[in-house]
Amino acid sequence: MERWRDVELAWQRTLVIIKPEAVKAGLIGEILSRFERKGLQISRIRDGRIDRALARQHYIHHADKPFFEGLLDAITAGPVVFAIVEGPSAIAHVRNLVGATDPVKASPGSIRGDFAVELPFNMVHASDSPETAEAEIRRFFGEGA
């Protein structure tokens, strides 16, 4: 018997935010299609804007960093697209597809490696853990999401 067939992959949900610079560059379809081609599902999607107060709440874990204000400026600069992405081990798959936070360190073939040039303009946000994903989904889609 092949051992991999006995492994039950965890079905997960995660949040992806397509940031203003990617929306402006017309990359929404390209970014979402990478998740779908991987076999992940886009279960909910909406567009909107993130105001400064919500951005501050979202990035509060970076509040003591010197780049915090620039991060807030970048995410509030224009419209964004919010997506709930689901599938087996979705968080790890999405983070691999997105690439390293710093575009200089992101592998070619990843979203950031292919499209981003400099921080804080790295094209997308992706949740980093199941707990973070659920909190961020509630933050941007509401309690019933």
For the segment 22-38, what is each residue's pLDDT rounded down to a tens digit?
Answer: 999 999 999 999 999 99
- 8 band by pLDDT with thresholds 50, 70 and 90: low
Q: How far apart are alpha carbons 24 and 100 in whole angstroms?
A: 21
* Binding-site sequence positions for ATP: 19, 67, 95, 101, 112, 122
Output DSSP code: residue 84: E
- 144 band by pLDDT with thresholds 50, 70 and 90: confident
Neighbour-count burial of 95, counting CB atoms closer than 10 A to its CB (0-12 exposed, 13-18 middle, 19+ buried): middle
Neighbour-count burial of 28, counting CB atoms closer than 10 A to its CB (0-12 exposed, 13-18 middle, 19+ buried): middle
pLDDT higher than 50, residue 1: no
Residue partners of 65: CB distance under 8 A and separation at least 6: none
> Which of 3-7, 9-13, 63-67 has the lowest average pLDDT?
3-7
- 102 band by pLDDT with thresholds 50, 70 and 90: very high
CA torsion 105-132-55-106 (nearest 10°) is 10
Average the pLDDT over 30-56 and give the result. 98
Hey, is 57 helix, strand or coil? helix
Give pTM, 2 decimals. 0.92
pLDDT higher than 50, residue 79: yes
For the segment 119-137, what is each residue's pLDDT rounded down to a tens digit?
Answer: 999 999 999 999 999 999 9
Q: Which fold has domain 7-49+78-141?
A: Alpha-Beta Plaits (3.30.70)
**Residues recognised as catalytic:** 125
* Binding-site sequence positions: 19, 67, 95, 101, 112, 122
**So what's the pLDDT on residue 10?**
84
**So what's the pLDDT on residue 6?**
53
- Please indicate whether residue 4 or residue 67 has the higher confidence score (pLDDT): 67
- DSSP lists the bridge partners of residue 84 as 15, 44
Average the pLDDT over 85-105 and give the result. 97
